Amino acid sequence: MTTGTPRSTTTSCSRRAIRRARKTVDADLINKELDKHGASLEAGEERRIKQAIERASNIPGYDVSTGHRFSLVEEFHETLFEKVSPGGLQSQRYFDIADELGLDEKTPLPTPEEIAKGLKGKTWR
């Protein structure tokens, strides 16, 4: 994931929120210390990742303390970009946001808030 690239979260094969990743880091929690790969973190950012790891450890079978990539994001913007074909996803699915919004390659991407509004009510297969 490229820092600053708008991404979406998936729930039941629908994109429900858009956010902009400020920073992405691969990190492992070893002996209560965060071993970071790829980005420097401020104290508050490191604390947020440690808290996320701690919360995930309370979910059976959901250990993210090693081998995971964390994205530090700005606020989420609600949308509904819904999958209408039957069946679930077999793997990750990436979308060309410019194509989905009907933008040409010369047009810069809008803000995450504008993307969320533009995707609301659109469907995909």
Spell out the residues 6+ positions from residue 16 whose beta carbon is closer than 8 angstroms to its own. 8, 9, 10, 78, 79, 80
Cα(95)–Cα(124) distance, rounded to whole angstroms?
A: 10
Question: Which residue is associated with the tokens 């790969």?
Answer: 37
Q: What is the residue extent of each domain of the chain?
A: 6-124
Instruction: Give 66-99 pLDDT, tens digit per residue.
Output: 999 999 998 999 999 998 888 888 887 888 999 9
Q: Are 20 and 75 in contact (CB under 8 A)?
A: no
Entry pTM: 0.65
Q: Which residues of the chain have pLDDT under 50?
A: 1-3, 9-11
Cα(59)–Cα(57) distance, rounded to whole angstroms?
A: 5
Alpha-helical runs (H) found in 1-125: 43-57, 97-100, 112-119
